[in-house]
C-alpha cells in the first residue's frame, strides 16, 4: 500500500478532540517541536503546538477526513484587502443585536489561520472569549450594538431584517471612517441584495457594491472575524445584563428561555422585560 501524507491546521476544539480520541495510542515524542504523536497500525499522526497536524501512512486520508473542512478562501490573494460583516443575537430572545464589519488584509491571514478563526457558531463561548481580544487588537473593525430597549423601540416601525440591513450599512459607514473601504465587501447573506438595498431607502449614507453570499462566515476571513467579534460583544452584553439583575439569561428562544422569562417577570416585574428581551418574539406571549 502506498504511503500518503496529509497536513491540516485544526482549530482548538478539533485539536483537543483528536488528542482525546486517540489518547490510548499516543507515544513518547523526542522533539520539543512536537506536541504529541499518535501511532496506529496504518497511520502516524503528528501534532504540533501550532495545531498543525500531519497524518502519514497508508490510511492517512481516511483518518484526516474527519478533520477536513472547507477552509476560508485564503489563496485568492488578489481579492485582498477585503471587508465583511455578520450579525448575532437575531435568534436570541434575550440580549442585543450586534453587527460587526471587519477589514482584513492579505498580511492578516496567517495570524487569523493561527488563531483558528472560523464561523463563531462553530466555536465555544470560551474559545470566543480567548480569540476575540486578540482579534480586536489585530483587525480594523467596527461593532454596533442595539440593546433590547432600543431594539424594541426601533422594531415598532422596522422589521427585524430592516434593522439588520441598517445596522450592516452603518457598520460599513463607521468602518469607512477608520480605513478606505476595499472593493471587495461581503455580507453573510440574510436576504437578497435587492431587498437589502430596498430596506436602506431613505438612509443618508448607503454603502454600495456589497457582495452577498450565504455561509460566508465559512469562506471569508473578514466575515469569520466579524462573526467572532460580534459574538464576543454579545456575550459581554449578556454578562452585563447578568450583573445588573444577578440573573442568568439563556441564549436562543427555546423552552429554557420561556422558563427563565417567567422567573424574570416574577422577580423583577413585567415592565423590566423590555430592557432584557426582544418583545416581539412569541416567547413573550408564553411568558406573560
Ligand atoms: Mg450570519
Model confidence, pTM: 0.76
Where residue 74 falls among pLDDT bands split at 50, 70, 90? very low
Task: Find the 97 Cα to ligand 1 centroid distance in Å.
Answer: 12
- Pick the closest to residue 95 from 190, 202, 236, 195 (CA basis): 236
User: What is the rounded CA–CA span in Å between residue 147 and residue 201?
Assistant: 23
What contacts 256, CB < 8 A, 6 or more positions away? 250
Q: How far does the centroid of ligand 1 lie from the alpha carbon of residue 169, in Å?
A: 15
Q: Is 243 exposed, middle or buried (0-12, 13-18, 19+ CB in 10 A)?
A: exposed
What is the strand order of the sheet 36-40 is part of? 4-9, 52-57, 43-47, 36-40, 26-27
Q: Taking a C-beta distance cutoff of 8 angstroms, is the pair 186, 223 a contact?
A: yes
194-221 per-position pLDDT tens digit: 999 999 999 999 999 999 999 898 889 9
| Cβ neighbours for 107, distance < 8 A, ≥ 6 positions apart | none
Q: How many angstroms separate the alpha carbon of residue 196 from the centre of ligand 1?
A: 14
For ligand 1, the distance from its centroid to the CA atom of residue 32, given in whole angstroms, is 40
**Cell numbers placing 37:** 504523536
Q: How far is the CA of 268 from the centre of ligand 1 (A)?
A: 33
When pLDDT is averaged across residues 277-284 and rounded to a whole number, the result is 98
Distance 146 CA to ligand 1 centre (A): 16
Mean local confidence (pLDDT), 144-166:
97
Q: Determine the distance separating the centroid of ligand 1 and the alpha carbon of 25, expressed in angstroms.
A: 39
Mean pLDDT of the chain: 92
Beta bridge partners of residue 7, listed in sequence order: 54
Report the separation in Å between the CA atom of 212 and the middle of ligand 1, taken as the mean of its atom positions. 11
pLDDT of residue 239: 97
- List, in order, residues 6 or more apart from 9 with CB less than 8 Å away: 50, 51, 52, 53, 113, 116
> Of 72-76, 128-132, 282-286, where does mean pLDDT reach its minimum?
72-76
pLDDT digits over 212-267, tens only?
999 898 889 999 999 999 999 999 999 999 999 999 999 999 999 999 999 999 99
Amino acid at each position: 500500500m502506498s504511503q500518503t501524507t496529509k497536513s491540516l491546521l485544526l482549530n482548538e476544539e478539533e485539536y483537543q478532540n483528536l488528542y482525546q480520541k486517540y489518547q490510548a495510542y499516543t507515544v513518547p515524542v523526542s522533539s520539543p517541536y512536537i506536541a504529541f504523536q499518535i501511532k496506529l497500525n496504518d497511520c502516524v499522526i503528528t501534532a504540533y503546538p501550532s495545531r498543525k497536524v500531519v497524518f502519514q501512512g497508508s490510511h492517512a486520508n481516511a483518518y484526516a477526513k474527519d478533520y477536513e473542512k472547507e477552509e476560508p478562501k485564503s489563496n485568492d490573494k488578489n481579492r485582498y484587502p477585503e471587508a465583511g460583516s455578520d450579525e448575532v443575537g437575531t435568534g436570541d430572545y434575550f440580549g442585543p443585536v450586534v453587527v460587526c464589519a471587519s477589514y482584513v488584509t492579505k498580511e492578516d491571514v496567517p495570524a487569523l489561520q493561527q488563531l483558528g478563526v472560523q464561523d463563531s457558531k462553530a466555536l465555544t463561548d470560551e474559545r470566543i472569549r480567548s480569540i476575540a481580544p486578540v482579534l480586536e487588537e489585530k483587525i480594523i473593525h467596527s461593532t454596533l450594538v442595539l440593546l433590547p430597549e432600543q431594539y424594541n423601540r426601533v422594531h415598532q416601525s422596522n422589521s427585524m431584517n430592516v434593522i439588520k440591513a441598517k445596522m450592516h450599512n452603518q457598520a460599513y459607514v463607521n468602518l469607512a471612517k477608520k480605513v478606505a473601504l476595499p472593493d471587495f465587501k461581503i455580507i453573510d447573506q440574510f436576504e437578497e441584495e435587492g431587498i437589502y438595498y430596498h430596506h436602506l431607502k431613505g438612509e443618508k449614507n448607503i454603502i454600495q457594491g456589497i457582495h452577498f453570499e450565504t455561509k460566508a462566515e465559512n469562506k471569508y476571513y473578514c466575515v469569520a472575524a466579524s462573526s467572532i467579534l460580534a459574538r464576543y460583544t454579545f456575550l459581554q452584553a449578556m454578562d452585563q445584563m447578568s450583573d445588573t439583575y444577578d440573573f442568568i439569561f439563556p441564549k436562543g428562544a427555546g423552552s429554557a428561555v420561556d422558563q427563565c422569562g417567567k422567573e424574570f417577570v416574577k422577580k423583577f416585574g413585567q415592565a423590566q422585560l423590555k430592557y432584557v428581551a426582544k418583545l416581539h418574539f412569541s416567547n413573550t406571549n408564553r411568558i406573560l
